[in-house]
Structure 1
Amino acid sequence: MEVNNSVVDKMMETVKKFEANKDNRTIFLHCYSMMTANMLLAIEQNKFHDTQWVNQLLNRFADYYFNALTCYDCGQETPTVWKEVHKAAASKKLHVIQHLLLGVNSHINYDLVLTLYDMLSPEWADLSDEMRVKRYQDHCLVNLIIGDTIDKVQDEVVEKYSPSMDVIDKLMGRLDEFLLLKLITAWRDKVWDHTQELLVLESEAERTKYILELEKKVLKKADWLDTQIGFR
């Protein structure tokens, strides 16, 4: 399948603007652009069961990020999970890993749930058991692509903003990448569970309540990343 790299181009244009303004939000977005580029390569290589569906999901996922970014920068109403990330990038002295994980937390634990729901809800009732399993397998395959990207992220982004991480990387070998992948994989497993729970809710009121509770959980993780993980 031939893919369109415009989403990566848009990310890198924004990264350049962030870097020019010494904006810490470049840390997450630069990493996200690398992950997205590897996802598009996997789509082009037909590694997924349904490349067209995954490509649509990838673009819808990116929409959530850019919509929140535009709203925040224009002073419009912004999802609270992203408002806190943007505020932390501008006003808090955090380690590069904290800035990265705060963005990952909001995008995976919140945006990805909504993205998967957007993609699955119109089709889920009519999907065969086999196709439901394939949707889940395509979701899980992303974990492998993340794993293949983490080393490059550490070398090209994390160490750029925190040179001392190069020393840590050499001392710990693959352990630090393994721990980061383990955390993200656990989050993505839970994302699928949250999506399944959303899919069985029958009313908009129930779904709204569920998403509000999800938001509280994501903000709690953000508070832990902000204050407790010990990178300061």
Structure 2
Amino acid sequence: MAADNIDDVVDGLAAIVRDARRDGDRVGYFAALYRQVTVEVRAAIHAGLFDDGPRMDRFDTLFGNRYFDAHDAWRRDRGGPRCWREAFGRLDDPETVIVQHLVLGVSAHINLDLAVAAARTAPGAAVHGLRRDFLLINDILARVVLAVQRSVGAVSPYLGLLDELGGRGDEHVLDFGIRRSREEAWHNALVLAGQDTAAQEATIDLLDVRAAVLARLIARPGGLLRPALELIRRTESQDVPEVIAHLDRAVAPTG
């Protein structure tokens, strides 16, 4: 599908979530998180919180279409960007736990798509004017990720126990990791905004390769994370439609 505005992005994500619940498809895990982030961004646009609301609508639409294109390419012929192929390729893997599916989607979208969407929303020197609104999304994303992480704990008891034992430390680490990835995406957007089409394509390809390597590390981590993930897998819900429904109501609707 192709979205023309942020309302189309919300509707498209809602359709993916709805179909995933019907089919028991784990693609709905990240789509549920992403839908809620987009709803919150739309609410912030309507509330006038951004310096340029129409520009943020265009930005979010370009960002959303990157995800829809990757999703459609995977469904069509297992194609699309490398990092998204890594993420989608784990959907039927019984060893990949809920939180890994979420992180794989977040990682691909931030480490590849975000810089591309920012540079195409504000090419050339205009990209510098996007900075404040770009940073404001960090706060929205962190709030939604925190709510969804708490929601995951209800369907993944061992992960919930780790959260309780660790207090909010792990949530701060996750928040910091997202912010640091977004900061890197901002620097990549500055590079892309100053390049011609051919140079952009070469840079995007390099970003995709790097994001794909990171995806493989997320999917198959080493060290002490491996036995911890096995315990998480054994205790978390395998009812995919119910997990999707649970994740999709982690954040109360605001717009």
Q: Is the 8 A contact 1:43 1:51 kept in 2?
A: yes
Paired residue for 1:220?
213
Paired residue for 2:32?
30
Paired residue for 1:208?
201
Paired residue for 1:194?
188
Q: Percent identical across equivalent pairs?
A: 25
* CA offsets 1:11-51 (integer angstroms, 9 cap, x no match): 12211221222222111111111111111111111111111
Change in Cα spacing, 1:154 to 1:44, as seen in structure 2 (3 Å) is same
What amino acid does structure 1 have at the position aligned with 2:65?
Answer: D
Q: Is the 8 A contact 2:104 2:218 kept in 1?
A: yes
The within-5 A match list for 1:32-51 is 32-51=34-53
Paired residue for 2:64?
62
> SS at 1:89's partner residue?
coil
Paired residue for 2:17?
15
Q: Which of 95-104 and 170-179 deviates more? A: 170-179
Q: Is the 8 A contact 1:34 1:153 kept in 2?
A: no
TM-score (structure 2 length as normaliser): 0.79
> SS at 2:90's partner residue?
helix
- The alpha carbon displacement at 1:78 in A equals 1.6
Q: Is the 8 A contact 1:82 1:106 kept in 2?
A: yes
Distance, in Å, in 2 between the alignment partners of 1:161 and 1:23 is 16
Paired residue for 2:131?
136
Q: Is the 8 A contact 2:146 2:171 kept in 1?
A: yes
Which runs of 5 or more structure 2 residues have no equivalent in the other structure? 231-255
Distance, in Å, in 2 between the alignment partners of 1:109 and 1:49 is 24
Aligned length: 221
| Runs of 4+ residues deviating >4 angstroms | none
What amino acid does structure 2 have at the position aligned with 1:142?
Answer: I
- The alpha carbon displacement at 1:210 in A equals 1.6
Paired residue for 1:74?
76
- The alpha carbon displacement at 1:65 in A equals 0.7
Change in Cα spacing, 1:84 to 1:47, as seen in structure 2 (3 Å) is same
- The alpha carbon displacement at 1:133 in A equals 4.6
Which runs of 5 or more structure 1 residues have no equivalent in the other structure? none
* CA offsets 1:105-161 (integer angstroms, 9 cap, x no match): 11111111211121122xx34x4xxxx5541111111111112222321233x2354
Please give the root-mean-square deviation of Cα atoms over the aligned residues, in Å: 2.0
* CA offsets 1:45-101 (integer angstroms, 9 cap, x no match): 111111110111111111111111112112264222211211111235212111111
The within-5 A match list for 1:163-182 is 163-182=157-176
Change in Cα spacing, 1:5 to 1:155, as seen in structure 2 (3 Å) is farther
What amino acid does structure 1 have at the position aligned with 2:91?
Answer: A
The within-5 A match list for 1:1-12 is 5-12=7-14
Determine which of 151, 162, 165 is the counterpart of 2:156.
162
Distance, in Å, in 1 between the alignment partners of 2:88 and 2:74 is 8
Distance, in Å, in 1 between the alignment partners of 2:64 and 2:97 is 25
> SS at 2:48's partner residue?
coil
**Higher-RCO chain (CA-CA 8 Å, sequence separation at least 6):** 2
Q: Is the 8 A contact 1:8 1:36 kept in 2?
A: yes
